[in-house]
């Protein structure tokens, strides 16, 4: 009986220990693993997530990546340019409307050329520059000016070039710091010191060139260009204006005078040639004439 009681006690103790071990294993599996410190990554501008309205989307929670603030992330570096052709009723009021459109979108007319000569199609070419964020507004504002014949918009993504130039500039700055430190500690020959200074000047020149390229890309991205060609319609006779027929009659008379003048000028060449040909023909005929025989007694 004592042996049976001991066996039962050992069985109960083993089951309790096994149950406690299972409970501890389940608790360890249910508990979340310790959070690892994720590196802070700054994605390039072209890889940012965008919402449907074109704005940068906020990072989803729990993705394990700490993204920088929206102000520290560069937007898409895209240079947008466009050309358009518009037919208007009158050229001067249309030019005034184009200038007003440029002021409305916060831009300006950088250059213009006008053609209003007699007998020529009245037209003007204007180059508008405005903030890139208001480029679409400027394109939409062309419709009230007149009949839009053609619109062509191009976009050039320079984000990859910007990141590449920025990385090169960062490496050049590191090399500059190392050269400055080496120059401060250098106590060798004068030639070695001059070599280090020459290399430092070359690196600084590269840094300035990279900085200038980055400023140029930022300025081109911030400002968009739209070239407009504004022209009046070609005049037709159906408008009731006889100017076309009168001009055609005048042109016909000019052509007749030009033909008559050409004929008179041609006489200055034809008459001498005719005289020379007649003289030659007379000389040849006289040379070939047989001698006359004396008459019989």
pTM for this prediction? 0.50
Average pLDDT, the chain: 75
The span from the CA of 222 to the CA of 78, in Å, is 9
Alpha helices by DSSP H, 31-145: 91-104, 135-140
Contacts of 163 (CB under 8 A, 6+ apart): 44, 45
CA 297 to chain centre: 111
Beta strand segments in the chain, E: 78-87, 108-115, 123-131, 147-157, 223-231
pLDDT digits (tens, 9 = 90+) for 2-54: 444 444 444 555 555 555 554 555 554 444 434 333 333 344 443 333 333 34
The span from the CA of 172 to the CA of 206, in Å, is 7
Average pLDDT, stretch 135-162?
A: 90
On the 0-12 / 13-18 / 19+ scale of CB atoms within 10 A, 114 is middle
Tokens 């406690």 sit at which residue?
20
pLDDT for 59 beyond 80: no
Q: Select the more confidently predicted residue: 150 or 56.
A: 150
């Amino acid at each position: 009986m004592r042996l049976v009681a001991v066996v039962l006690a050992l069985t109960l103790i083993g089951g309790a220990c096994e149950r406690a071990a299972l409970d501890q294993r389940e608790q360890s599996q249910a508990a979340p693993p310790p959070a690892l410190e994720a590196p802070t990554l700054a994605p390039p501008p072209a890889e940012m997530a965008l919402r449907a309205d074109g704005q940068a989307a906020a990072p989803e929670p729990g993705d394990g990546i700490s993204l920088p603030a929206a102000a520290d992330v560069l937007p898409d570096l895209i240079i947008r340019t466009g050309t358009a052709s518009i037919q208007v009723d009158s050229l001067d009021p249309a030019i005034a409307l184009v200038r007003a459109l440029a002021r409305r979108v916060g831009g300006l007319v950088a250059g213009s050329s006008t053609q209003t000569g007699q007998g020529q199609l009245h037209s003007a070419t204007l180059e508008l520059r405005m903030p890139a964020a208001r480029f679409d507004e400027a394109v939409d504002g062309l419709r009230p000016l007149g009949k839009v014949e053609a619109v062509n918009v191009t976009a050039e993504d320079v984000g990859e070039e910007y990141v590449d130039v920025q990385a090169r500039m960062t490496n050049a700055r590191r090399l500059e710091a190392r050269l400055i430190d080496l120059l401060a500690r250098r106590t060798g020959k004068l030639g070695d010191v001059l070599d280090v200074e020459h290399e430092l000047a070359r690196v600084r020149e590269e840094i300035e060139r990279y900085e200038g390229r980055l400023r140029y890309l930022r300025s081109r991205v911030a400002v968009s260009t739209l070239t407009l060609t504004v022209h009046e319609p070609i005049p037709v006779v159906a408008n009731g204006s006889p100017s076309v027929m009168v001009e055609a009659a005048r042109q016909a008379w000019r052509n007749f005078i030009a033909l008559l003048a050409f004929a008179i000028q041609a006489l200055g060449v034809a008459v001498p040639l005719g005289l020379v040909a007649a003289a030659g023909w007379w000389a040849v005929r006289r040379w070939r004439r047989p001698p006359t025989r004396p008459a019989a007694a």
